[in-house]
Amino acid sequence: MSREPTTALSLLRAHTNELHRALERTPCMTRLSADDATPADVARALTVLHAGFVRVEAGLREETWYRPQAPALAADLALLPTCPAPRVADAPGPASPPNHAARLGAAYVLVGSRLGARTIARNLRSQWGAAFIAASSYYGAEASHASEQWQTLMGQLAPLDEAEAEVASAVAVATFRLLMTLSEAAA
């Protein structure tokens, strides 16, 4: 039985919605939307994302459609004050998703973060002006690919059967938990 992408998407959202909101509420991530976000605040959040993305994207290499974001995050970190990285080795989460459905679960979280990055970019643009966004890889150039990557992900989810959609959801949950652990450690 194949699922429509909206059905698989509904399952992913149902399993991850609270974790998504909890991640957004961590002090580290909350600062990104604050009216007085500083370069150090952004550096801390991007350091968390970079640490998590490096770990998760290592397992996404077989997904040729996926556009890695760790390089963009690293480039943006070079524009910001140095911030200590949280320890990834001790954090729970997916190290190498074993199959396509599992990789789609991880990609769901990472591609979804790009959609959120567009909202954060608007906030940072209003505070810091257009220069940072123009220089930024993650909030600037790469954010323009967010919708394209999301649509590709929806196409990848379409043929998943119910069992595969459950696997994708479990890995998405694990990916959110990894990012939560890293974000909490950075606070």
How does residue 1 score in pLDDT terms, banded at 50, 70 and 90? Answer: very low
Q: Give CA–CA dist 137/145, Å, rounded.
A: 11
Average pLDDT over every residue of 139-156: 88
For the chain, the average pLDDT equals 88
Q: Give CA–CA dist 47/53, Å, rounded.
A: 10
pLDDT at 6: 56
- Yes or no: say if 179 and 92 are a contact pair by the CB < 8 Å rule: no
Task: Write the CB contacts of 56 (distance below 8 Å, at least 6 apart in sequence).
Answer: 93, 94, 106, 109, 110, 175, 178
Query: Of 86, 151, 149, 80, which Cα lies nearest the Cα of 114?
Result: 149
pTM over 0.75: yes
pLDDT in tens, 74-94: 999 999 998 877 776 666 666
pLDDT in tens, 89-111: 666 666 567 799 999 999 999 99
Find the angle CA(143)-CA(102)-CA(169) to the nearest 5 degrees. 80
pLDDT at 89: 62
34: alpha, beta or left? (left if phi > 0; alpha if psi -120 to 50): beta
What is the share, in percent, of the chain residues with pLDDT greater than 70?
Answer: 91
Query: Of 110, 29, 104, which Cα lies nearest the Cα of 68?
Result: 110
pLDDT in tens, 10-45: 899 999 999 999 999 999 999 998 989 999 999 999
DSSP string for residues in 46-86: HHHHHHHHHHHHGGGTT-TT----HHHHHHHHTTS---PPP
How does residue 144 score in pLDDT terms, banded at 50, 70 and 90? Answer: confident
Better-predicted residue by pLDDT, 6 or 59: 59
pLDDT in tens, 117-134: 888 998 899 889 889 899
Class of domain 5-186: mainly alpha
